[in-house]
Chain A
């Protein structure tokens, strides 16, 4: 599918005759040199694209140009140079009336300080986008009620925003964006003004809504943990430039430069890295239609005490253990000898590593990792998990490797 938002070489320079600033930047002048000229380069040569149904996070500290960037995406700020496309419509060359039409049809926005209209009720606020585009009252009220239900504000439609807590007010902001029925949602530090517990709730709700409604979300934040938690892909911004674009795993594992590396130092890796980033492929897997003899042969070749059995559609069927297989071959059984004492722990590929430990401690079996559709994707033996944990911990704490070695012999995998 073609990207929903495409930015190519976007520049935003504030000041008198900003075009000369773009020229100077292209010739290699620095941001500070421009400042001496009375120009502020907010966004420099930004290129990225956001795919349909993706949560794309732009992450940077204050002054990095991220707020300017998001305002260029819906044309609140016109680009000084470069091209911005929504679908295949070029926003940067549109008339104001045409831009308004695109905003009504495709882009809604959620603001850091909610930006609700205090003189209107919650319901009227949620219906605002539809009111602006001329929908009649009963239709827009129905849609607003629906959107308020989606964000868990059923029955609050008649109240003023001032009667609601901060978290609830931002839910109204979210409902306003949802009710507008656009396929793109811009979120400008949408959760930054909320306290941590509520912020987490809102993040979960956003992820859940996004999966249900398949919106394309461009999310701005200065909080790397938030970025890693909700972002499918993250663009790291610094001093107006995008320094790296990638998934959270890519950014953690291969930071593009020292700046990104310094930034990710205090991220709790075990919460960010997911099962898929540490899983490995077993040497052999067994088809569910095979017999104990084949299993015995594969076990000998792979040198592991267990063997993953897959059904024909590559969903996991179970794990065989060498003692059971040896007994079945000795007794001449035809059916696969499923273990009576070991279970089969299955986890999804996007489970954070931190949540794997309990499961791994309860089961001798390796963790079976499945992809989004339930197909077998890989295994995480206990040793692998503990090694990964050791690597994550040793980032901040040199004592961690000792911990790893002291525990690993217990896991008798391999």
Chain B
């Protein structure tokens, strides 16, 4: 179709969006400033914390976390891979990216879980939320960067902003799914003993939805990571920035090294959060072993 055709109506959607962004910028800039201030504070703080200790000590710490929540095998693998990251000089960008991912994930989850709960308990909310989530998830991720830069200028904050928006949907979806999946007879049991809707939510629905919600959190983290790399385009520090620089200068060595850093970070966060969400299936974790020995001691004391 030809846009110049006189019968063809051209809707200026883009101009509309532009107008909306300008209006928001003119009228609620205090909100953006507050967001900007908070995000810079959190990310700088977290990045400094991660980089404060010697890298070798941090590697050990990550390995211990891996051991505590998953297995000794994962602990050793973590130590080996992170030492490797250190050896290819990707430690600092990796920690910067990790700080961004953690902050973005945190905010995405504190928004996503309540919205998911609301959608699970109210079909009208659910019907409204679903298309919005579809929109958020399918809109090409780069597009979010444009208004984000308008609002926050370049740097880490627009990166975080678009990361939160991009990573939010699976958190909402999985929370809703997890709560709706809870066996209706179990919920009825709560009701039949006179539990209030709040008691049922806290005591039955949420605890039973935890594995599904954690699968959602895992997804959120993975999306945050992919977006945090894209955020390198607008000047956020970290592995993303390295990748963007490598693209701009067609620097293959730099690109490979930065890319491997992202992969290592992704694998670590994925395996760790998977174990957090489903502790029962990781019997080799330090937590499981401690619980088992405690239970054995308790039974021994009982008999």
List A residues at the B interface (Cβ < 8 Å): 71, 74, 76, 100-104, 107-109, 111-113, 115-119, 128-129, 131-133, 155, 158, 176, 180, 186
Contact of B193 among A104, A116, A118 (CB under 8 A): A104
A-B contact count (CB 8 A): 67
Residues of B within 8 A of A74 (CB): 192
Which 6 pairs across A and B sit closest by C-beta, in order of nearness? A104-B194, A103-B194, A115-B189, A109-B192, A129-B193, A115-B185
Please report the C-alpha to C-alpha distance between residue A128 and residue B195 in the assembled complex, in whole angstroms.
9
When A119-B207, A155-B302 are in contact, do A132 and B195 touch as well, CB less than 8 Å?
Answer: yes
Residues of B within 8 A of A128 (CB): 189-190, 193
Residues of B within 8 A of A131 (CB): 203
Q: Count the B residues whose beta carbon is within 8 Å of the partner chain — how many?
A: 21
Please report the C-alpha to C-alpha distance between residue A238 and residue B76 in the assembled complex, in whole angstroms.
66
Q: Is the CB of B194 within 8 A of A133?
A: yes
When A103-B192, A107-B192, A128-B193 are in contact, do A112 and B204 touch as well, CB less than 8 Å?
Answer: no
Whether a CB of chain A sits under 8 angstroms from the CB of B298 is yes
Which residues from 266 to 303 on chain B have a C-beta closer than 8 Å to any C-beta of chain A? Answer: 295, 298-299, 302
Residues of A within 8 A of B195 (CB): 100, 132
Q: Is the CB of B194 within 8 A of A129?
A: yes
Residues of A within 8 A of B207 (CB): 117, 119
Please report the C-alpha to C-alpha distance between residue A133 and residue B199 in the assembled complex, in whole angstroms.
10
What are 8 A-B contacts defined by CB distance under 8 Å?
A111-B185, A113-B185, A117-B208, A128-B193, A129-B194, A131-B203, A132-B194, A176-B193
Residues of B within 8 A of A107 (CB): 192
Residues of A within 8 A of B189 (CB): 109, 111, 115-117, 128
Q: Is the CB of A111 within 8 A of B193?
A: no
Instruction: Other than A117-B203, A176-B193, give 4 A-B pairs with Cβ distance below 8 A.
Output: A103-B192, A108-B192, A113-B183, A117-B186
Q: Is the CB of B208 within 8 A of A118?
A: yes
Residues of A within 8 A of B194 (CB): 100-104, 129, 132-133
When A118-B208, A119-B207 are in contact, do A180 and B185 touch as well, CB less than 8 Å?
Answer: no
Please report the C-alpha to C-alpha distance between residue A101 and residue B194 in the assembled complex, in whole angstroms.
6
Q: Is the CB of B208 within 8 A of A119?
A: yes
Residues of A within 8 A of B203 (CB): 117, 131-132
Q: Is the CB of B193 within 8 A of A180?
A: yes
Please report the C-alpha to C-alpha distance between residue A115 and residue B186 in the assembled complex, in whole angstroms.
5
Q: Is the CB of A100 within 8 A of B196?
A: yes
Shortest beta-carbon distance, A193 to chain B, in Å? 11
Please report the C-alpha to C-alpha distance between residue A232 and residue B266 in the assembled complex, in whole angstroms.
65
Shortest beta-carbon distance, A311 to chain B, in Å? 50
Nearest chain-A residue to B299 (Cβ)? Answer: A158
